[in-house]
């Protein structure tokens, strides 16, 4: 996935109500049943995803589970994206604010 494809996917998911990815307790998740995936969950291939990953940091996913981040994305940026998604989860979803913060991280 290119950076442009990733940004388009984030934009589409955010606009179409597919964010945030939270469970019934309000906890942010990489994936939830159905179509919801968080900003990092989008990058986890279906054949690599395991529910036991939930609650782990991005660095743990790369170290323990061998998640390969795209070449255009550093681990620091991935962690920042995870934090932006998770922080936005706690309030009413704000598409404009989310995408503004995403673009700041990725530029």
In tens, the pLDDT along 43-70 reads 999 999 999 999 899 999 999 999 999 9
For residue 20, say if its preceding peptide bond is cis, omega within 30 degrees of 0. Answer: yes
pTM: 0.86
Q: Report which secondary-structure segment, H or E, holds 100.
A: helix 95-106
What pLDDT is recorded for position 21? Answer: 85
Q: Which portions of the chain are predicted below pLDDT 50? A: none
């Amino acid at each position: 996935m290119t950076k442009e494809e990733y940004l388009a996917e984030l934009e589409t998911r955010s606009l179409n109500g597919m964010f945030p990815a939270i469970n019934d307790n309000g906890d942010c998740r990489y994936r939830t049943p159905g179509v919801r995936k968080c900003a990092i969950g989008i990058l986890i291939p279906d054949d690599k995803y395991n529910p036991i990953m939930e609650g782990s940091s991005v660095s743990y996913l790369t170290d323990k589970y061998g998640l390969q981040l795209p070449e255009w994305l550093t681990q620091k940026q991935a962690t920042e994206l995870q934090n932006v998604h998770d922080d936005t989860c706690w309030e009413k979803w704000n598409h404009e604010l989310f995408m503004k913060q995403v673009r700041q991280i990725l530029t």
